[in-house]
Amino acid sequence: MTGRDELRVAVVGVGVMGADHVRRIVERVRGARCTVVSDVLPDRAAAVSAFAPGSRAVADPYDAIAADDVDAVVLASPATMHEKQVLACLAARKPVLCEKPLTTEAETALDIVRREIESGVELVQVGFMRRYDTEYLALRDAIASGKLGTPLVAHCVHRNPSVPDYFDSSMVIKDCLVHEIDATRYLLGEEIRSVQVLRPTPNSQARRGLQDPQLVIMETTSGRLVDVELFVTSGIGYEVRMEVVGESGSATLGFGRKSPGFIDHFAAAYDAEVQSWVDAVHAGPATGSFVDGPGAWDGYAAAAVCAAGLLSLQTGNRVSVELEQP
């Protein structure tokens, strides 16, 4: 799988995120090259392959995953495709960096956790790139330093200027909130035990039927509360903020920052994420793990909170999160 100077990577699904990952592998990531560019739209695969010298375009994602000239896979297909494609990576014993969310239901994410355990080796990393963002890392350091005292509450803002037409109310949870779910677990070091989704007056500029904004309150196992404003049709810019309030101080990230979109905002974090993954895959034969950072369990835990969030979206009631052991 490794032992080579350069990891041979297939990028599967080359829309917005996948094409961006191909570019970073070609231009900035050390120790990897893109050998296969795959998309069910052959023209798109060919167009993106054109900027990865030495790569070939493959339409069938499963052919790409199984290919002999592919050591590892970056999965950036639509979320509904992740389950089957991650399982194909596990079957081929190939490390995979799967874009978030791991899958769209808790059951299928748990199945991946179990299948990975059966395989005997950690192969699945989930694309929670905020864990590689310098501002999140500084916030984590501030918490760990003890300067804030015990964290009690956190406030988050997650705004997009706009979203594609296919974006529905459930995607605000599964595609957007999923990042704050992971950030909460990562920064506070606890699981989330309940979630409540409130529905403020919808933005008149939002597509009919899209509940936007949404206000979410999550509770961790020790009773800390984290509120999240999700607003995906703000019309203004991409904004991600967080404030953690502890017994003896508070710390923030993202205030005063506005970007055109996530690609610009988190560019350095995506670079760091993919580089760390490539390094972990190279080190895998020695360490026994082909993952750096968020793995299949993190993908499952986030999916379970999303599932509870989707139930709450319907009723507005607080819903408990039940995590099953694999």
Ligand X SMILES: O=C1[C@@H](O)[C@H](O)[C@@H](O)[C@H](O)[C@H]1O
Residues lying near ligand NAI in the complex (CB under 6 A) are found at: 12-18, 39-41, 44, 61, 76-79, 81, 99-100, 127, 129, 175, 262, 266
Structure tokens at 41: 């739209």
Per CB under 6 A, which region of 4-12, 173-181, 209-217, 280-288 contacts ligand X?
173-181
What's the CA gap between 306 and 225, in Å, rounded?
A: 16
Q: Which does 160 bind (CB under 5 to 8 A by kind): ligand X, ligand NAI, none?
A: ligand X
Closest C-alpha among 214, 128, 227, 225 to residue 179: 128
Half-sphere exposure (Cβ direction) of 35: Cα atoms closer than 13 Å: 17
Q: Can residue 169 be called a binding residue for ligand X (CB under 6 A)?
A: no
Residue among 106, 176, 192, 291 that touches ligand X (CB under 6 A): 176
Q: Which does 40 bind (CB under 5 to 8 A by kind): ligand X, ligand NAI, none?
A: ligand NAI
What's the CA gap between 130 and 178, in Å, rounded?
A: 11
Minimum distance, C-beta of residue 90 to ligand X, in the bound complex (Å) = 23
Minimum distance, C-beta of residue 74 to ligand NAI, in the bound complex (Å) = 10
| CB of 39 or CB of 71, closer to ligand NAI | 39
The gap from C-alpha 301 to its chain's centroid, in whole angstroms, comes to 12
What's the CA gap between 72 and 94, in Å, rounded?
A: 5
Q: Can residue 182 be called a binding residue for ligand X (CB under 6 A)?
A: no
Q: Look at residue 183 and give its three-state secondary structure.
A: helix
Q: Identify residues 134-163 at the interface with ligand X (CB under 6 A).
A: 160, 163
Provide CB contacts within 8 A for 131, sequence distance 6+.
137, 182, 183, 186, 273, 293, 294
What's the CA gap between 83 and 138, in Å, rounded?
A: 33
**Residue count (the chain):** 326
For residue 154, give the H/E element and its range: strand 151-159
Residue 207 CB burial class (10 angstroms; 0-12, 13-18, ≥19): middle
Q: Which does 44 bind (CB under 5 to 8 A by kind): ligand X, ligand NAI, none?
A: ligand NAI
Residue among 128, 132, 136, 262 that touches ligand X (CB under 6 A): 262
Per CB under 6 A, which region of 18-26, 59-67, 175-183, 314-322 contacts ligand X?
175-183
Q: Can residue 106 be called a binding residue for ligand X (CB under 6 A)?
A: no
Q: Can residue 179 be called a binding residue for ligand X (CB under 6 A)?
A: yes
Minimum distance, C-beta of residue 198 to ligand NAI, in the bound complex (Å) = 23
**Under rule CB under 6 A, how many of the chain's residues touch ligand X?**
6
End-to-end CA distance of the chain: 27
Minimum distance, C-beta of residue 212 to ligand NAI, in the bound complex (Å) = 17
Minimum distance, C-beta of residue 307 to ligand NAI, in the bound complex (Å) = 16
What's the CA gap between 215 and 227, in Å, rounded?
A: 7
Closest C-alpha among 320, 276, 285 to residue 128: 276
Q: Which does 18 bind (CB under 5 to 8 A by kind): ligand NAI, ligand X, none?
A: ligand NAI
Residue among 175, 182, 212, 292 that touches ligand X (CB under 6 A): 175
Q: Which does 182 bind (CB under 5 to 8 A by kind): ligand X, ligand NAI, none?
A: none
List residues bridging with 143 in a β-sheet.
none
Q: Which does 39 bind (CB under 5 to 8 A by kind): ligand X, ligand NAI, none?
A: ligand NAI
List of residues contacting ligand X (CB under 6 A): 160, 163, 175-176, 179, 262
